Structure 1
């Protein structure tokens, strides 16, 4: 595994869109150790970048968060498991070589490895002539992680079960909505957060309009994540206090938090305020897809 600089000429590129859970209701812990959840997945315009670069090392890392992955065995990396799985599905002999430009924090509640794996499935699917909505691709995605099928689609969907039973929902009111992501540079693996959940079922996620459902909903993992890292509460409170903020919440199992805004001017003003308050926090100004 190497860390590289610029893309090679002719590289095929795909964005691994950051995933945002607008709401996340944890209903119960299942006998298989997973949890039944109800969530609204939405996606940012920005994210990591994956590129196919034939003839290069199996996995090349770049970007500001590449060092967090530099010690991993590339054969165990979710990106390469996705690449090899699709290669086998397509019956191709040549092993894919992938460059991952890691622009999003690791263990951050915004899709990270799931979004990267999903982007590889889309990227190589184009090269192999396999559509991303092919049932074989979606079945492969489900074996890679509960969030991966939603990340393959990278459009607003409702997720039930482990989050892998997906339902397309009308989301015209969300498209293009200004978004600010903030991470206090805390890595927060999913397992400890779910383990700290109090196992209280606080009720279902409302059907219908996704923004209305999100506003009426909650993230049941926000409280246990905040107990583990109280700074998360500081981030959410700061975002919620910004003029024009429509919704401020933690995404997924954290520690990245987000706010939706009514205008790009309000989002950009909030971005400047957060930067002035805590210049050490990671921020990304984007929009919902």
Structure 2
């Protein structure tokens, strides 16, 4: 089999409620997650020995442990490959993986988690492993709380510590192939552990679990459902990276922006638009006024 190429889509937390905290310190979440056609790119090629090559706009931000291809690597792609090899009785993953890193690091859109999930899916295809095999879900969770929902790769509700993933209704289209989205990041890392520490220090009350899953029939219903929710980490993330507030204000001021919100623990924010033209114009305007920010636009599904 020749090289297999995959998009590792950006994960967008359309809302994120913190509903509690376990005795072991892990927070309990309630989130609606969508995915975008904006993402990293992985190519997996059969090989005698495992190797990992990284390039792309954000490859320079990786540290030496993140470039390591050993089982002790700090990179979730390598760790996912070695975990899959162990789970399937292989001494070595036996693939060469090429990761084109297009998403900013530590940016709240699940880049590393999506890369890991895409590695799992790709190896399942290459090795003819059932992606619903019993060992896959716990293996994904062992790599990180966002990996199980990224393994699903379509709109889903994520609860517990990320281990409870259930399907969500399809995200409705705007005027194009999907609802249009603009992603903006100030290129300032916003590591998740630090944001959760800031959230805990604020001693904010936990959100009550939703009585029922949000439902929608069209884009108007969808936006209305989202407006009844929030991202509970916004204040903590903004305290960590103040530029988040500037980004949210900039997105909210754009013509055609139906909703502007922080994704995950940040610092990436998103704006939802009903038309490709409005999203494209907003992205171009923000890039012009803030050339030091990362800005991208696409669709969300």
What is the TM-score when the length of structure 1 is the normalising length? 0.92
Instruction: Report the alpha carbon displacement of residue 56 of structure 1 after superposing the two structures with TM.
Output: 7.2
Instruction: Report the alpha carbon displacement of residue 238 of structure 1 after superposing the two structures with TM.
Output: 0.7
CA distance in 1, matches of 2:69, 2:61: 13
Q: CA RMSD in A?
A: 1.8
Q: List alignment gaps of at least 5 residues for structure 2.
A: 217-221
In the alignment, structure 1 residue 177 sits paired with structure 2 residue 175: no
**Contact between 1:122 and 1:131, CA under 8 Å: does it hold in 2?**
no
Change (3 A) 1:51 1:143: same
CA distance in 1, matches of 2:171, 2:57: 33
- Per the alignment, residue 43 of structure 1 pairs with 35
CA distance in 2, matches of 1:57, 1:124: 12
CA distance in 2, matches of 1:183, 1:172: 23
What does residue range 1-289 of structure 1 map to in structure 2 within 5 Å? 10-53=2-45, 54=47, 58-72=51-65, 73-75=68-70, 76=73, 77-95=75-93, 96-173=95-172, 176-197=178-199, 198=202, 199-205=204-210, 207-209=213-215, 211=222, 212-289=224-301
CA distance in 2, matches of 1:179, 1:10: 34
CA distance in 2, matches of 1:55, 1:275: 44
Instruction: Report the alpha carbon displacement of residue 252 of structure 1 after superposing the two structures with TM.
Output: 0.5
Change (3 A) 1:115 1:200: same
Change (3 A) 1:10 1:273: same
CA distance in 1, matches of 2:16, 2:277: 28
**Contact between 2:57 and 2:102, CA under 8 Å: does it hold in 1?**
yes
Instruction: Report the alpha carbon displacement of residue 70 of structure 1 after superposing the two structures with TM.
Output: 4.2
Instruction: Report the alpha carbon displacement of residue 94 of structure 1 after superposing the two structures with TM.
Output: 4.1
Instruction: Report the alpha carbon displacement of residue 97 of structure 1 after superposing the two structures with TM.
Output: 2.4
Q: Give CA-to-partner distance per residue, 1:184-237, whole Å, 9 cap, x none.
A: 111111011001112312433452326343221000111111011111000011
Deviates more, 1:130-139 or 1:144-153: 130-139
Deviates more, 1:267-276 or 1:46-55: 46-55
Instruction: Report the alpha carbon displacement of residue 87 of structure 1 after superposing the two structures with TM.
Output: 1.8
Q: Give CA-to-partner distance per residue, 1:149-199, whole Å, 9 cap, x none.
A: 100111000011112201102124257111110001111110110011123
Deviates more, 1:163-172 or 1:37-46: 163-172
- Per the alignment, residue 5 of structure 1 pairs with none
Instruction: Report the alpha carbon displacement of residue 74 of structure 1 after superposing the two structures with TM.
Output: 3.1
- Per the alignment, residue 6 of structure 1 pairs with none
Instruction: Report the alpha carbon displacement of residue 131 of structure 1 after superposing the two structures with TM.
Output: 3.2
Instruction: Report the alpha carbon displacement of residue 91 of structure 1 after superposing the two structures with TM.
Output: 2.6
4+ aligned runs moved over 6 Å, structure 1 = none
**What SS is found at the alignment partner of 2:64?**
coil
**What SS is found at the alignment partner of 1:194?**
helix
CA distance in 1, matches of 2:226, 2:125: 34
What is the TM-score when the length of structure 2 is the normalising length? 0.88
Query: Alignment length, in residue pairs?
Result: 281
Instruction: Report the alpha carbon displacement of residue 10 of structure 1 after superposing the two structures with TM.
Output: 4.0
CA distance in 2, matches of 1:133, 1:183: 34
